Structure 1
Amino acid sequence: MKKFDIRNIRVRKVDIDEIDDRMLLINLYATQALTLIIGIIWILFQRQNLLDLFTIPRELEVLYWGAGLAAAVIAVDLLISRWVPEEAADDGGVNDRIFRKRAVWHIAVISLIVAICEELLFRGAIQHAIGPYWTSIVFAAIHVRYLKHWIPTGLVFSISYGLGWIYEQSGTLWAPIIAHFLIDLVMGLIIRFRRESHEQETEA
């Protein structure tokens, strides 16, 4: 029987274009499932009440916090994309691959899952332990594909800090979840329909 030798394992960088759509989605959902599990375990170790974190507030103020931050982030992102060269804000093509041919309902599902899983971990668990500033540094570091350029890195850090701030101001996890969901949804739809429009112009 052949012995397993860990030294034979080779790690290499995989280009996003080498991954097919099915594997891309599997990786996306597996990553979010892992994020959710880590978040739940961490929260339980902190002796927080998981159900309390997801209690839906009766006041509409949570919508204003979430939608307000989302609107500000989207406006800044659109200004950056208008005035900053594309290569300076490049994420390696990951977002383009995820959203460009996705159905609208699927973009909404992805955005909701990412918002809930990431906000539970980062705002619900990590921010509870180390505060919004250091949480935002961790959040930016986790989104490693942005680290090649300082503009998207700074934007990711600022978005995370904004999410942490509205969480503290509103007192509910639903504020950053709503903001995160709307940001991803709108940016995903922009990628989807901008790509579709570009392809139609090319064919014409």
Structure 2
Amino acid sequence: MKKFDIRNIRFKKVTIDQIDDRLLLINLYVTQSVTFIIGLIWVLFQHRNPFLLFSVPKSLSFLLWGLGLAALVLAVDLLVSRFVPEEVGDDGGVNERIFKNRPVWHIAVMSLIIAICEETLFRGAVQHNIGPYWTSIIFAVIHVRYLRHWIPTGLVFSISYALGWIYIQTDTLWAPILAHFVIDMVMGFVIRFRREE
């Protein structure tokens, strides 16, 4: 039997074009699952009940906060895309590959999973320890594909901070989850149905 030697492990840089569709989806769902699990474990280490994070609020005002923030973000994104060259917002083609050829239902499902998993970790767990500012810095760094340009990095930071702010205002994780879901889903639909020039 051949012995396993960790020194024989080699890493190779892979571009988005070298990953097939199946592997791209596996990567997306695995990373989101890991994000969710880390968030739940972090909440447990804070001696908090993770089920309380997902309790349904008595007031429906969180809907206004979530949908209002989503509308604001989408309006700002529309303005930015109107006046800023497209290459400034380039993420290396990742979003294009994820959303371009997906059915509408799959875009909605992916957006919901991403919103729940990322908000559980960042708003539900991390923000509880270090506040919305530092959480937003980490959130922007995690979205590494945007770091090549300052405008998308600034937008990701600002959106994250706004998500943290509405979480504080509403005291429910459902407000940032709703906003995150609507933003991702609408952006996914825009990519999916955008006409080729």
What corresponds to 1:74 in structure 2? 74
Q: Following TM superposition, by how much is the alpha carbon of 1:4 offset from its aligned partner in structure 2, in angstroms?
A: 2.5
RMSD: 1.0
Select between 52-61 and 151-160 the one with higher mean Cα deviation.
52-61
Unaligned ranges ≥5, structure 1: none
SS in 2 for 1:3: coil
Q: Following TM superposition, by how much is the alpha carbon of 1:8 offset from its aligned partner in structure 2, in angstroms?
A: 2.1
- % identical aligned pairs: 73
CA distance in structure 1 between the partners assigned to 2:59 and 2:138 by the alignment: 31
Letter in 1 for 2:93: G
SS in 1 for 2:160: helix
What corresponds to 2:192 in structure 1? 192
Q: Runs ≥4 in structure 1, deviation > 3 angstroms?
A: none
Letter in 1 for 2:90: D
Residues 1:32 and 2:32 aligned together: yes
SS in 2 for 1:58: coil
Write the deviation string for residues 127-156 of structure 1: whole angstroms up to 9, x where unpaired: 001000000000001111111111110000
Letter in 1 for 2:185: L
CA distance in structure 1 between the partners assigned to 2:178 and 2:11 by the alignment: 37
Q: Following TM superposition, by how much is the alpha carbon of 1:48 offset from its aligned partner in structure 2, in angstroms?
A: 1.0
Q: Following TM superposition, by how much is the alpha carbon of 1:184 offset from its aligned partner in structure 2, in angstroms?
A: 0.2
What corresponds to 2:101 in structure 1? 101
What corresponds to 1:138 in structure 2? 138
Q: Following TM superposition, by how much is the alpha carbon of 1:80 offset from its aligned partner in structure 2, in angstroms?
A: 1.1
Q: Following TM superposition, by how much is the alpha carbon of 1:60 offset from its aligned partner in structure 2, in angstroms?
A: 1.8
CA distance in structure 2 between the partners assigned to 1:144 and 1:161 by the alignment: 17
SS in 2 for 1:96: helix
What corresponds to 2:88 in structure 1? 88
TM-score (norm 2): 0.97
Counting only pairs closer than 5 Å after superposition, residues 141-180 of structure 1 correspond to structure 2 as 141-180=141-180
Write the deviation string for residues 173-197 of structure 1: whole angstroms up to 9, x where unpaired: 0000000000000000000000xx3
Q: Following TM superposition, by how much is the alpha carbon of 1:7 offset from its aligned partner in structure 2, in angstroms?
A: 2.1
CA distance in structure 2 between the partners assigned to 1:58 and 1:20 by the alignment: 44
CA distance in structure 1 between the partners assigned to 2:64 and 2:30 by the alignment: 31
Unaligned ranges ≥5, structure 2: none
What corresponds to 2:59 in structure 1? 59
Q: Following TM superposition, by how much is the alpha carbon of 1:3 offset from its aligned partner in structure 2, in angstroms?
A: 3.0
Letter in 2 for 1:164: G
What corresponds to 1:45 in structure 2? 45
SS in 1 for 2:12: coil
SS in 2 for 1:92: coil
